[in-house]
Structure 1
Amino acid sequence: MSGRVDGKVVLVTGGARGLGAATARTLVAEGAKVVIGDVLAPEGRALAAELGAADALFVELDVTGEAAWRAAVARTEEAYGPVTGLVNNAGLVHRCPVEDLTEADYRRVVDVNQVGVFLGMKTVLPSMRAAGGGSIVNVSSVGGMIAFPYILGYTASKWAVRGMTKAAAQEFAPHGVRVNSVHPGVVATGMTADSDRSHALVEHQPIRRAARPAEIAGMVLYLLSDEASYATGSEFVVDGGYSSQ
């Protein structure tokens, strides 16, 4: 029985745990070769071992460094061939009032969440062009559609990802490369587990629970598959209805 992404070669950033790990598992189950990029080497190597060397490998990847991106793409091509899918999932959040937010903390969030996405799209494009096309999925947030207090850097970066996605979609289309953004609401991962604010948000949305990582991974799978061949430059919101209010 064939999978929905048979023959795809997909690089997933922040792939060692949480949403990234759920995405890697989903993609391998549906026939893709997956490269797990992360700074969390022990967790990344363990996940790659779980998924099997024939279908997954780990590369240490700090998404804020262009040289690290070039090395990750080269390793992917060496192992599996040209990259046909990229999931820009790596991200972080820093919570505090604006008046207490340091420049260093603001820049750290933007470097990972926004600059990392830029570097990823830039670096994989030649590989996707060589493959004859591909699909890029940028993981933004419901915080890239609306705004929340106390996470200014995160909100700024996720709105930027939304705009970057649209600009890249227009530029990359002649190369057969689609670019879309996914906007999760609260997802039950380590990033939200200790946040009282996250728990309060889901109490007032139509679906009154946090998303399971696999539910977001399902949307990513769709966008990487040929089923989404006419979708580019668009936002796909998966937030339990939070932003519908």
Structure 2
Amino acid sequence: MKTGLGTMIVTGGSKGIGAAVARAAGKAGYRVVLSFKGDVDGAEAVVRDIASDGGVALAVRADMAREDDILALFATVDERFGAPDVLVNNAGGVGPLCRVEDVTADAIAEVLAVNVTGTLLCCREAVKRMSTRHGGRGGAIINISSRAAVLGGAGEWVHYAASKGAVDSLTIGLAREVGAEGIRVNAVAPGLIETGLHAAAGAPDRLERLGPTAPLQRPGTAEEVAAAVMWLASPESAYVTAAVLPVSGGR
């Protein structure tokens, strides 16, 4: 049984990048706690994959837009494994594909609730447990941002891009706030990645259209993003904090 690296929480771990991170973490030797909102089958599949590879994993139903669910997630980790060593804030939403002039207040609120408020609350709970100021042993927080924060998402997802701009600011500010308390805070900013997100948003051809426009002339994979996350979680990046690492093929 591989559990030598401690405990990693991966929010939104039932599919896409989150699932790839959870599988990579389990393979590396972390105890993995992944949250999911509704995809029970996906979450159970990830847990089975980790277990079949000799790892330890637990799936917890939790909506990252709800503070009570976030508190329950961390309480479950406390009870089962103690304080987490790594938090990967992956859960997020893009909202509808539309111009700013067509976006609704409800759509904006839904995106911000998960991408910004939920991420902040998870960071808050992780700091309470990791910080040496609170008797913790330190740790790493890795936020999943997006290249949209820099590119702007014009004509498609400006609302989403704005939420990820907030994630970048959170990453930098929190890293500077808790760096002396044993916690490193970084972000990974994926570009066009092969996941079901694009089709779910109503643009199944988006990767085919835009992938070749990246300097590397293709979309990336969830596993390539997971590799960057795992590096930021590892001692190999011990002097890296407040960084936003693009994984975007140069786009």
Structure 2 unaligned segments of length 5 or more: list them. none
TM-score using structure 2 length = 0.90
Whether the 8 Å CA contact 2:186–2:242 is kept in 1: the answer is yes
Match of 1:147 among 139, 143, 152: 152
Q: Which amino acid aligns with 2:43?
A: G
Q: Which amino acid aligns with 1:216?
A: V
Match of 1:138 among 135, 143, 146: 143
Offset from partner CA, 1:83-119 (integer Å, 9 cap, x none): 1100000111121121211100111111111111101
Relative to structure 1, the CA distance from residue 54 to residue 234 in structure 2 (aligned partners, 3 Å threshold; closer, same or farther) is closer
Which range is displaced more, 25-34 or 36-45? 36-45
Instruction: Report the 3-state secondary structure (helix = DSSP H, G, I; strand = E; otherwise coil) of the residue aligned with 2:42.
Output: helix
Relative to structure 1, the CA distance from residue 135 to residue 235 in structure 2 (aligned partners, 3 Å threshold; closer, same or farther) is same
Percent of counterpart pairs with the same letter? 34
Matches within 5 A, 1:192-207: 192-193=198-199, 194-207=203-216
Structure 1 unaligned segments of length 5 or more: list them. none
In the alignment, is residue 107 of structure 1 matched against residue 106 of structure 2? Answer: no
Match of 1:214 among 198, 223, 236: 223
CA distance in 2, matches of 1:30, 1:240: 25
CA distance in 2, matches of 1:219, 1:50: 21
TM-align CA RMSD: 1.7
The alpha carbon displacement at 1:54 in A equals 5.6
Offset from partner CA, 1:42-79 (integer Å, 9 cap, x none): 32123213322961000111111222111111111222
TM-score using structure 1 length = 0.92
- Tell me how many residue pairs correspond in the alignment: 239
The alpha carbon displacement at 1:8 in A equals 2.4
Per the alignment, residue 177 of structure 2 pairs with 171
CA distance in 1, matches of 2:208, 2:6: 36
Instruction: Report the 3-state secondary structure (helix = DSSP H, G, I; strand = E; otherwise coil) of the residue aligned with 1:231.
Output: coil
CA distance in 1, matches of 2:160, 2:153: 9
Q: Which amino acid aligns with 1:237?
A: P
CA distance in 2, matches of 1:233, 1:124: 16
Per the alignment, residue 245 of structure 2 pairs with 236
The alpha carbon displacement at 1:195 in A equals 3.9
Instruction: Report the 3-state secondary structure (helix = DSSP H, G, I; strand = E; otherwise coil) of the residue aligned with 1:37.
Output: strand
